[in-house]
Amino acid sequence: MKKDSQETIPSSVAHLMPSEIILGTLAGFSEQGQPLVDFPENTSGQPLVAITTTPLEQQHTGRQAALLFVKRNMHRPMVVGLIHSPLEDMLENFVDPTETDDGAHLEVKVDGGFSIEGKKEDGRLVFEAKEEIVLKCGESSLTLTKSGKVLICGKYLLNHSTGINRIIGGSVEVN
């Protein structure tokens, strides 16, 4: 009788260490409802059917998953969990915008006590804050402060106008 430690390991799986976790992606589900996963080391050219230790739903498609492999066989993946993503949690806990009966007030709430309130006025959407409003994307930001400052920061700023472009202030400094 052969012991497991003496068992010959196929060359296609020899590089995997026992209990080595590989990061993959939940690609979707088969017609039978089985999870399909893909991962960088997958040489089959298509997502593989996986077994799972955790409940998976259609809404998890596209999420990163922690994968183990049955008997270190790369063609037998097992999903042991989904990778935690604060953004995914925020999107999953997002509560749809609600409006008052008159349609003039808009409030968006996210679990955790965070909310954004706005008002519809004459075809505009107005957001108000007590101290500061900050919009950020990558290395750029727009900040409006309580004291009246407007701060625009970014690697490159483009100011384009098809009409008159006016800069009005108590004083104007360039460079």
Q: Is 164 exposed, middle or buried (0-12, 13-18, 19+ CB in 10 A)?
A: exposed
Q: Is 18 exposed, middle or buried (0-12, 13-18, 19+ CB in 10 A)?
A: exposed
Are the C-beta atoms of 37 and 79 separated by less than 8 Å?
Answer: yes
> Is the pTM for the entire model greater than 0.75?
no
Residue 11 banded pLDDT, cuts 50, 70, 90: very low
State the Cα–Cα distance between residues 104 and 149, nearest whole angstrom.
27
- Give percent of the chain above pLDDT 90: 29
State the Cα–Cα distance between residues 128 and 147, nearest whole angstrom.
14
Higher pLDDT, 112 or 157: 157
Domain boundaries, the chain: 17-82, 94-123, 129-162
Higher pLDDT, 59 or 39: 39
Question: What's the mean pLDDT in 149-174?
Answer: 80
Question: What's the mean pLDDT in 28-46?
Answer: 94
Question: What's the mean pLDDT in 83-100?
Answer: 62
State the Cα–Cα distance between residues 84 and 16, nearest whole angstrom.
24
Q: Is 122 exposed, middle or buried (0-12, 13-18, 19+ CB in 10 A)?
A: exposed
17-82 CATH choice from 2.60.40.1290, 3.40.50.2300, 3.30.2030.30, 2.40.50.140? 2.40.50.140
Higher pLDDT, 57 or 15: 57
Q: Tokens 């625009």, residue?
A: 152
pLDDT for 166: 77
Q: Which of 13-27, 103-117, 125-139 comes out lowest in average pLDDT?
A: 103-117
Does pLDDT of 62 surpass 80?
A: yes
Question: What's the mean pLDDT in 125-133?
Answer: 78
Q: Which of 50-64, 108-122, 150-164 comes out lowest in average pLDDT?
A: 108-122
Q: Tokens 């700023």, residue?
A: 157
